[in-house]
Amino acid sequence: MMRKIRRLPLVLAFAVALILSAALAQHTALGSALHSSQHQTQSVSDFDNSGVQHDRPQDLLAFRVAEATQKASQTQTAEAVAIDTEAQQPPNFVVILVDDSGLMDFSAFGGEARTPNLDQLVQDGTWFNNFHTSPVCAPSRAMLVTGSDSHLTGVANLPEMLPEGYADQPGYAGELNESVTTVATRLKAAGYETYATGKWHLGHSETNLPTAQGFDHSFILGGSGANNYDTRGYVPMKPEAHWYRDGEETDLPQDFYSSKDYIESTIAFHESQSDPNAPFFSYIAFQAIHAPIQAPERFVEPYREVYTAGWDALRQQRYEKAKDLGIIPADAALNDIFPQFRQWEEISPGLRAEYVTDMAVTAGMLEAMDFYIGEYIQYLKDSGRFDNTVFFITSDNGPDGANYKVSLAQIWQRMMGYHKDPDRVGEADYYGDIGPEFAAALSSPFSFFKYYTGEGGVRTPLIVSGPSIPQGRTSDVFCFVTDVVPTMLDLAGLPTPSSEEAVPITGKSLLGHIQDPEVSVYAEDEGVGLEAANSAAYFLGDYKIVKNNIPLGDNTWHLHDLKTDPGETRDLAEQEPERFQAMVAAYDAYAQKVGVIEMPEGYSAEGEVTRKSVMYLLKQYGPFALIPLFLLLLGVLWRWRRQAKGRQHSQVKA
């Protein structure tokens, strides 16, 4: 109680802001924090790499045996037997999930942040630049660990973004249902040791936590986001976060930093591995670069002046780099800037400086994540596990374009002890965000960002790197987040699960394409549907229909040829009406099959988060929020009584 009383001045200010901003709640998003601490960077130039470009085998196991036989001819018999045994060993798997990262954020793809460890994995593997996810995090995570469409898993949308009553609908509970089978469960049954660290966001109950979903050991953040140094939340509706270790809620160590501790916990799991010869599956889901964006100060300093030219310049710069790298055609157009966006020059110098600092922390957070990935790679090398490990690295969706620099959110941040001092970015209390304009710039050359099914919200990098994966190859074949699980099962030599399962795998294996780039993942007549937060898309060959929700979208279907127009600048619906109508019908069939439920009119994901945050604050601080209204009422009554006495006095004198 005393703590709330000490916060009374801020609460009074909050109450006034709450009253003024409630009407804007449907179009405002809350939450996000930034920060820093210290650690050194690492460059990895010593990855084991024979430099040999392997032929593409039709059978992976046959290839590995043949490779071992070839090496055996150059060594003694005993060594040949050892190599052959190693070749028969199922591969280890490491799945690394970055949060809210766009296609071009890693330095190998033109990003500003230095990510040498990820860059080396790119060089040693295959990069898929036409890989797609959900536009929001939890559905992507559900599909990544199951291989099934998010609606079938029970995670069609985020609970935080659902209107009242929708979480009771089939597929919309926001947690893995009891019928779904994770890849960890499948691999564990095949003798794998399985670990999960990082952001989970697939349910908090005993049946939803990793230990109930096939993972032997886990250390996870249960919810959608949190401070990277302590248990504070990042939006008013989630003021405190919860971590779990092996299914039990746990406290954080005093020197906790998310990227560091997730890697340290993963290594500790390896060290306690019950069978050191067993293959392993390690799932590492970083908080980087989800709000609150935070990084040790040493990683932030190199980027202090990188973003001073503003979001328009960055947007153009990434567009040019995308053409130079062959990510988009040289004649591909860049989409127009949204009319709701501000011009860099029209905002105040102070606000520009704040954005520049926030972007520096974003780049620093990516570099910090890469540094700790490097430590994990070095551990795998030192322990003899690296050479037989296949890495999958991707992001859950595009950059976060929510606007957290609004008065109501900033008052709540102050109440939680956050600050905006650019000279103190190394503290856990620093809170910042990049905003919609910089999110659009990071999404360039694509349109839209997180929450939307425009390419900027759903096209993210996928890196596959490891033994027998072609090195230095870039693939532009269409693939989807559900394809990772069947690819892993294929590489492990496990049978394809039955389509008659209660929740069947809907993805396709990438292995055929990895072995032969002329082989597509999906047939020409085989489409892929996608829906989340009332935005939707359907992919068929090079074409895509897309419907983006408000406030930036118009809730109308559009048709695009992604091969020639990846920026989605030209709507072909009127030019190709037959194709357009056929794809809309195909999407409708998909939506009916998986159980898509339309959101109510006027719904927006960001607006729903804001509404729930406002309702939480009213419930939490309602009595204090009424104080200024009570004082105002007392003032009105006092003035009314004074005026009444004045009138009575005048009447007596008369």
Q: Which residues are catalytic?
A: 137, 201
- The 3-state secondary structure of 134-145 reads CCCHHHHHHHHH
- The 3-state secondary structure of 70-119 reads HHHCCCCHHHHHHHHHHHHCCCEEEEEEECCCCCCCCHHHCCCCCCHHHH
Supply φ then ψ for residue 14, to 5 degrees. -60, -40
Report whether 450 contacts 418 (CB < 8 A).
no
Supply 212's token pair.
Answer: 């109930």
Q: Which residues contact 478 (CB under 8 A, 6 or more apart)?
A: 130, 132, 520, 521, 522, 528, 539, 541
Q: How far does Cα 188 stand from its chain's mean position? A: 26
Give the CA count within 13 Å in the CB-facing half-sphere of 24: 13
The conformation of residue 293, written as its DSSP 8-state character, comes to P
Report whether 489 contacts 186 (CB < 8 A).
yes
Report whether 491 contacts 390 (CB < 8 A).
yes
Greatest pairwise CA separation for the chain in angstroms:
125
Element holding 539 (H helix, E strand): strand 535-540
Give the residue carrying structure tokens 């496990």. 494
DSSP-assigned beta bridge partners for residue 220: 198, 244
DSSP three-state, residue 146: helix
Sign of the torsion formed by the C-alpha atoms of 166, 606, 236 and 25: negative
Task: Give CA–CA dist 264/350, Å, rounded.
Answer: 39
The full length of the chain comes to 654
Supply φ then ψ for residue 34, to 5 degrees. -130, 165
Q: How far does Cα 356 stand from its chain's mean position? A: 22
C-alpha distances (whole Å) from 407 to each of 33, 239, 350, 404, 620 are: 15, 17, 16, 9, 18
C-alpha distances (whole Å) from 408 to each of 30, 327, 415, 431 are: 8, 40, 11, 14
C-alpha distances (whole Å) from 293 to each of 79, 241, 307, 584, 643 are: 50, 15, 16, 38, 55
Preceding omega of 289 cis (within 30 degrees of 0): yes
Q: Which of 180, 84, 147, 210 is nearest to 494 (CA)?
A: 147
Q: How far does Cα 230 stand from its chain's mean position? A: 20
Cα end-to-end distance, the chain, whole Å: 54
Report whether 464 contacts 60 (CB < 8 A).
no
Task: Give CA–CA dist 155/580, Å, rounded.
Answer: 29
Neighbour order of strands in the sheet with 558-561: 528-532, 535-540, 543-547, 558-561
Amino acid identity of 273?
A: Q
Task: Give CA–CA dist 218/230, Å, rounded.
Answer: 18
DSSP-assigned beta bridge partners for residue 280: 193
| DSSP H stretches of helix in 124-191 | 137-146, 150-153, 183-189
DSSP three-state, residue 485: helix
